Structure 1
Amino acid sequence: MIIFPMIIVLSLVLWVYYKVAIVKSDDRLTQAYFNAKSRICLGSFIFFFAINQYLFYQTRISLFIGIVFLIFGGTNLYVGMKETKHYRHEWRRLHAE
């Protein structure tokens, strides 16, 4: 089950990348767009971390904690995708050539 740790590390690295990109950017719309993308990365990190921990330990307490993390990570993923879609369309509308 090497796929889950790879996804976890990749999403954590992308989360740090987008957080640094927010600091480097001066445009508020670009900052909001990168924040939405970082929310997707954080949500995927939490989501896959919960799955990985349950598969690793397979106890009742890890199941309950994993369910809470799955809900929290899924919510972050959903909200991040909606925000990313909104800000992508807004950026294209304002920067139309």
Structure 2
Amino acid sequence: MFIFPAIIVVAAVLFIYYKVAILKSKDELIQRYFNAKARICLGTFVFVFGINQYIFYKTQLSLFIGIVFLILGGLQFYRGLMEAKHYRSEWRRLNPSE
């Protein structure tokens, strides 16, 4: 299965990209938006990593650890989506001309 390692690598690279973008930005609202996007990437990374580990090892221990990773990754992903949606609408409210 090549798709899961590819998603893991892309999610990790995007996570690092958004964390560096936070450092480059001066506006606090944009920093929080980038942090929410980074949280989405982190959630994706952890979620897919949990799936990949179970598929690779197929043991009962990897199943339990994978379930924990799925739950934590899903929660991070969901929270990131809600934060990104909130900060995007806040930015549009404060900058209606753009």
TM-score, normalised relative to structure 2: 0.98
Unaligned runs of 5+ in 1: none
Q: CA deviation at 1:90?
A: 0.4
Identity of aligned residues (%): 66
After superposing on structure 2, the runs of 4+ consecutive aligned residues of structure 1 that deviate more than 4 Å are none
How far apart, CA to CA, are the structure 2 residues paired with 1:13 and 1:96?
32
Residues 30-49 of structure 1 aligned to structure 2 (within 5 Å):
30-49=30-49
Residues 8-87 of structure 1 aligned to structure 2 (within 5 Å):
8-87=8-87
Unaligned runs of 5+ in 2: none
TM-score, normalised relative to structure 1: 0.99
Across the two proteins, how many residue pairs are aligned to each other? 97
